[in-house]
Amino acid sequence: MTKTSSRIFIDVLILCLLIPGYWFLALPLAIISAWYFPYFVEVIIAGIVYDALFGFIPGMGAWQYAGTIGSVIIFLIMFLSKKVVRR
C-alpha cells in the first residue's frame, strides 16, 4: 500500500469513527497519523467535523470549539516535535 492510499484509508477511518462519536478511538489514530505523515492537516479537518457534529451548542463558550482547538494543538505539537526529533 502506498503512502497516499494509506493516508486516504486513515482519513476515511477517522471520519467513520467521528460520525458516530467514537472520538476516543479517532484521537490516538489522529495523533499517530500526525506523527507518521508529513503535514497531516486532515487532523484539523477532523476537529472541525467533530465540532460541527457535536460542538455547536449555544452557551458552551470555548468548549464548543474543543475539537478544532484540540486538533490544531495536536497538529502544532506533532509538527514542531518532528522538526526537533528528525534533525
Predicted structure pTM score: 0.80
Residue 21 scores a pLDDT above 90: no
Domain spans in the chain, listed from the N-terminal domain onward? 3-85
**Amino acid identity for residue 59 in this structure:** G
Express each pLDDT in 26-62 by its tens digit. 989 999 998 898 888 888 888 888 888 887 777 777 7
Express each pLDDT in 65-87 by its tens digit. 888 888 899 999 998 998 888 77
Please give the Cα distance from 17 to 40 (Å, whole number): 17
Please give the Cα distance from 43 to 14 (Å, whole number): 9
